[in-house]
Amino acid sequence: LTDSKKATLVVGNARNRAGDAIELVIAEGIIAAMGPGAGSETADDVPRFDAGGGLLCQPFIDGHVHLDKTLIGLPFVPHIPGDTIAARIEAEKRIRRQTSGPIQARGGGLIEQIVAYGTLALRSHVDIDTEIRLKGLEAVLSLKESHGHLVEIQTVAFPQSGVIRDPGTADLLDAAIAAGADLVGGLDPAGIDNDIEGHLDVIFGIASKHGVGLDIHLHDGGALGAFELRQIAMRARAFGLEGRVAVSHAFCLGELDDADFGRTAEALAGAGVAIMTTGPGPVPMPPVKRLSAHGISVFCGSDNIRDAWSPFGNGDMLERAGIVCDRQNFRSDADLEEAFALVTDAPAEALGLSYALQVGAKADFLILPAASIAEAVAARPMDRAVFKNGVLVARGGRLVGAGA
């Protein structure tokens, strides 16, 4: 440590993933030193945090949320039934028109909740349609300012009501990217817009024009969904967007015959298309290990949290990893570590972020009361200490100090 970089905190009595004792020295929000006894050289007046023998690990990343949709903070809103995506879209619009709580308050409440669980970065899809236009995006972009000390936010301009089906949306998506959205979204080119080429040509055209990536919601099942995945992969290559396209849900990957799965996986891998899964309920889900074996990046997100689509969800990514384990029958330590990567390393790669724990990196990390990653996934402990830029922002599921 040089004099110009004065240590601000020493984290002692922690353990790394191998179980070895480790200390961290933090200066100016950066990990300045790391290793056994790393804190022994620092002055006595530097504050110390006793990790209590807990596990040091990187923070969680939520690869798919909807900050603009959540109803958190409002009196409980009963779920409006509706089995189809189209019915759900209409139900959401009814609720949206009657909701008085501003997006800044609801989305801010959700951020505070998920940061307390240990999530320090997220990708939020934000509805863009001809009724709400860019209002939701403007609200979520304002959360980047108000909550930037807690979380890193990436935004996707999401055509929740379709592009072809809701004329005028294409221009709004284009305006959304110009206004600061990070990626272009999409939604069921067949199931919602009934025009696979029309939908994909519009969203890839906008992404290409602005030089941004895409993250497309795809619920369409079976061979139809697989065909759409291959169409997406083909465009990712044609537009030079390899490695910058994700497809969220892609339930169809869990219900294909071997031949269809093989050619679809090959297309996705060749175009570097990543797959986001929540470990969803009573629908097929993308087979995580089979996709990984093909070189396809799979990452996790919460998706709907207490909104018009679902009364459930809490944003706890450790719980999300456990849900995926249940759905994929993951039981061994290696399996549980793979599930942990779905909420840490994999979304970091898909979102183009770095949360590596190394000297010189930003001091964003967690201390979990567990002896191993596998135990953390299995036991899902709540007594987590959450550090953002080297500052303790949450403990035991509540924001504290500078985070509160």
Please report, as ranges, the residues that interact with Zn ion according to CB under 5 A. 303
CB of 217 to Zn ion, least distance (A): 5
Do residues 384 and 367 touch, judged by C-beta distance below 8 A? Answer: yes
Q: Nearer Cβ to Zn ion, position 92 or 364?
A: 92
Do residues 334 and 287 touch, judged by C-beta distance below 8 A? Answer: no
DSSP code at position 307: S
Question: Closest Cα partner for 160 from 301, 66, 283, 277?
Answer: 66
Task: Please state, in angstroms and as integers, the Cα–Cα distance from residue 344 to each residue in 81, 130, 250, 318, 367, following that order.
Answer: 34, 35, 20, 10, 14
Q: Nearer Cβ to Zn ion, position 112 or 303?
A: 303
CB of 197 to Zn ion, least distance (A): 23
CB of 121 to Zn ion, least distance (A): 17
332: Cβ contacts below 8 Å, ≥ 6 apart: none
* DSSP calls for 139-156: HHHHHHHHTTTT-EEEEE
Q: Nearer Cβ to Zn ion, position 46 or 77?
A: 77
Q: Nearer Cβ to Zn ion, position 152 or 303?
A: 303
Q: Which residue is nearest to Zn ion (CB)?
A: 303
Q: Nearer Cβ to Zn ion, position 92 or 166?
A: 92
Tokens of 350: 């898909």
Q: What is the C-alpha separation between 164 and 202, in angstroms, rounded? A: 9
CB of 382 to Zn ion, least distance (A): 26
CB of 3 to Zn ion, least distance (A): 49
DSSP code at position 79: P
CB of 285 to Zn ion, least distance (A): 15
Rounded-to-5 percentages of helix, strand, coil across the chain: 35, 20, 40
Q: Nearer Cβ to Zn ion, position 90 or 257?
A: 90
